[in-house]
Amino acid sequence: MSDVFPASPHPDTMRRLDETKRFTPEGVEYWLGRELGPVLGYQTWAKFEPVIQRAEAALRASGQNPSHHIVQTGTSLRRDDSRDYFLSRGASYLIAMNGDSSKVEIATAQIYFAARTRQAEVESQLTEDQKRLELREKVATSVRRVSGAAKEAGVATKHQGIFHEQRYRGLYNASSKDVKRSKGLKPADNLFDHAGPLELSANDFQMNLAADILAKENIRSESAAVAKNLEVAQHVRRTIKESGGTLPEHLPLAEPIGEVRKRVTGRKTKAIPKPK
List per-residue pLDDT tens for the chain, 276 residues long. 556 655 444 558 889 999 999 999 988 899 999 999 999 999 999 999 999 999 999 999 999 999 999 999 875 444 556 789 999 999 999 999 999 888 889 989 998 888 888 877 766 666 788 889 999 999 999 999 999 999 999 999 999 999 999 999 999 999 999 999 999 999 999 999 999 999 999 999 999 999 999 999 999 999 999 999 999 999 999 999 999 999 999 999 999 999 999 988 876 544 434 433
**87 and 52 Cβ atoms separated by less than 8 Å:** yes
Domain boundaries, the chain: 10-100, 125-271
**143 and 163 Cβ atoms separated by less than 8 Å:** no
**240 and 248 Cβ atoms separated by less than 8 Å:** yes
Long-range contacts of range 52-58, CB-CB < 8 Å, 24 or more positions apart? Answer: 52/85, 52/87, 52/91, 52/95, 54/95, 54/98, 55/91, 55/94, 55/95, 55/97, 55/98, 56/91, 58/94, 58/97, 58/98
Torsion of CA 177, 181, 140, 210, to 10 degrees: -50
User: Is the pTM here over 0.75, yes or no?
Assistant: no
**198 and 142 Cβ atoms separated by less than 8 Å:** no
DSSP code at position 74: S
